[in-house]
Amino acid sequence: MAKAGPVYVCAECGAVHAKWSGRCDACGAWNSIHEEAPAAPGPGGVRLPRSHRAAILSDLSSTEAPPPRTLSGIGELDRVLGGGLVPGSAILVGGDPGIGKSTLLLQAAAAFAGSGLKCVYVSGEEASAQVRMRAGRLGLGQANVQLAAETDLTGILTMLDAERPDLVIIDSIQTMWSDAVGSAPGSVSQVRSAAHELAGFAKRRGSAVVLVGHVTKEGQIAGPRVVEHMVDTVLYFEGERGHQFRILRSVKNRFGPADEIGVFEMTGGGLAEVQNPSALFLSGREERAPGSSVFAGIEGTRPVLVEIQALVAPSPHSQARRAVVGWDGARLAMILAVMEARVGLPFTGLDVYLNVAGGLRISEPAADLAVAAALLSAREDAALPADMVVFGEISLSGALRPVSQTENRLKEAQKLGFSQAALPERSKAAEGTGVTLRSVPDLAAFAGSMFGAG
Ligand code: TYD
Ligand code: MG
C-alpha cells in the first residue's frame, strides 16, 4: 500500500482533494479546503463487527409494526419530525451560531422527558451549570433531563451504553473528538467519525440521537453538510437575525415529508410555537402600499400566506442593484428578463429590492407571479387589491403554469379573509372556496388587467 500523505478536505462539503486550492470544485466554496491527517487505519476509527453473521432476510410484505413514535407536545416540532420522534433515529439540527439551537433542543429534551422518555443532554460548549441556568431561565429547572458537559466521544459512548437513554442531544457535533482520529477537533474527519459512532449507537440501542451542527463561515471547522448523508433526518433552524421568528425546516426525512416547516417566535422565556404562521407573516402589512403582494404558498404539507415586498427606484449607479432577501436572486433575474422581453417593461437603470416579509425563505416556483406582481406594483406605483392573493409559476415565454395544491392555497386565503386570487388559467380549483378567481393566461395579461401596463 502506498504511504498515506496528507489529504486536503473541504470543510463545507467534505470532498477530498489531492492538493490544496482556493476553491472547492465539488461545492464551489471558497477558502474551505485545508490539510488534514489521513484517516487512521486499524483499531479505533471505525468499529468492525466482531463476528460475521449471515445477513438476515425478511419479506417485504411482512407486517412488522412500524416503531412507535413519541410526541413532545410541541406541535411545531412534532410535525417537522414527521409526526413525532422515531426511536433509533439520528437527527441533525443545523443552523447559524446564536440562532437558538441550544435553546430549542433544551426545550425539546424537557418536553420529551415530560412525555416519559429518558433524556440526556450532552454539551460540549457549555458547563453543566450554564445549561442549568439556561433551563432555569426557560422555566424548565425541574425537567427530568440528565446533563453531561463532555467532549470526549469514547467517554460519552461508554456513558450512553450504560445509561441507555431514549433521547440523546449532542451539542454540538463539532466539539466532539476521539483520540482514535489523528486530526484536530472540528476537522472533517473528527466530525464525521463522531457522527458515525453516534448514529451507530442510535441504531444499535434504539435511542434517538440529535446532533447539533453549527453552520460555519470560515473553512477551518467542518460544517453540518459533511454529516447529512449519515443521518435519517436533517433539520435546519433558520431566521433573520433581527427578526423574532425562527423556522425549523426538514430538508431530508426518512420518516416523514421533507420541506416541512415549524414556526417559532423567540421570547424572553424561550421559543414559543406559532400555530397560525400566515397571520403572523401578514401582521404589520400596510394594505394599500404599492410594491406589496400576498403570496399563497405551501411549505411542506401546510399552506402559508406571506407578504412579498418590492422597491423599484432609479439607480444612481451605472450598474443597477438587485438585492433579494428570502428568495433566489437568479429567479429574480429571470422574472425581470421575462418582464422586459414578454411584457415590454424593462427594469434597466432601476434598482430592484425584493424582500419576503417575516424572515421566511421561499423556494417554490409558485411564488413567481407574486414576485412579478410586487415588482409591477412597485414599478407602476399602484397598489394591488388589498384582499387579493397571488400564485403561479412563470415560464420563459411569459405564460403562467398552474401549480400544485391550488385548493389548499385558496382555503387558507379564505380563512384569513382574502376574497380574490390571481392565478394561472387551467388551475385545478373547485368552485365554492368563497374566493373569486381571476385566472390569467400569461404575465402580459396579468400586467394589463391589474395595472393597465404592458
Ligand atoms: P442559543 O440557543 O444559545 O443559540 P445557538 O445554540 O444556536 O448558538 O441562543 C442564542 C441566544 O439567544 C441566547 O443568549 C439565548 C437567546 N434566546 C432567547 O433569549 N430567546 C429565545 O427564544 C431563543 C431561541 C434564544
Ligand atoms: Mg448552542
CA 352 / ligand 2 centre spacing (Å)? 36
The confidence score (pLDDT) of residue 204 equals 93
DSSP notation for 187-233: SHHHHHHHHHHHHHHHHHHT-EEEEEEEPPSSTTS--GGGGGGGSSE
Smallest CA separation from ligand 1 atom 24, residue: 100
179 SS3 class: coil
Amino acid at residue number 118: K
pLDDT at 56: 83
Pocket flag, ligand 1, residue 101 (CB < 6 Å): yes
Given this chain, do its domains 70-275 and 280-451 carry the same CATH topology? no
Of ligand 1's listed atoms, the one at least distance from the Cα of 272 is 22
Contacts with 321 (C-beta within 8 Å, 6 or more apart), sequence order: 315, 351, 352, 353
- Any ligand 1 atom below 6 A from CB of 172: no
- pLDDT digit string, tens, across residues 273-319: 998 889 888 887 887 889 999 999 999 888 999 999 999 999 999 89
Which residue is closest in CA terms to ligand 1's atom 1? 100
Q: What integer pLDDT is reported at residue 301 of this predicted model?
A: 84
> Which run of H or E residues covers position 303?
strand 302-314
Domain at 280-451: CATH architecture: 2-Layer Sandwich (3.30)
Per-residue model confidence (pLDDT) at position 65: 76
Is 100 touching ligand 1 by the criterion CB < 6 Å? Answer: yes
For ligand 2, the distance from its centroid to the CA atom of residue 145, given in whole angstroms, is 17
* Helix/strand number for the chain, H first, E second: 10, 21
Between 3.10.20.600, 3.40.190.80, 3.40.50.300, 3.40.50.2300, what CATH number should domain 70-275 receive? Answer: 3.40.50.300
Phi and psi at residue 182, in whole multiples of 5°? -75, -10
Tell me the three state secondary structure of residue 341.
Answer: helix
Nearest ligand, CA of residue 172?
Answer: 2
- Residues of the chain below pLDDT 70: 1-4, 38-51, 218-219, 430-432, 453-454
**pLDDT tens across 354-368, in order?**
999 888 889 999 999
ipTM of the complex, rounded to two decimals: 0.97
72 lines ligand 1 (CB under 6 A): no
The pLDDT of residue 30 is 87
How does DSSP assign 373-393, residue by residue? HHHHHHHHT-PPPTTEEE--E
Residue pair 97/214 in contact (Cβ under 8 Å)? The answer is: yes
Q: What pLDDT score was predicted for residue 166?
A: 96
Q: Which pLDDT belongs to residue 43?
A: 46
Q: Which ligand is nearest to the CA of 273?
A: 1
Residue stretches of the annotated binding site for ATP: 95-102
Tell me what pLDDT residue 58 has: 82
User: Does ligand 1 have an atom closer than 6 angstroms to the CB of 214?
Assistant: no
Q: Is 266 in the pocket of ligand 1 (CB under 6 A)?
A: yes
Residues tagged in the binding site annotation: 95-102
Atom 25 (ligand 1) nearest CA: 100
Q: Please list all protein residues whose beta carbon sits less than 5 angstroms from ligand 2, which is an ion.
A: 102
Domain regions of the chain by residue span: 1-38, 70-275, 280-451
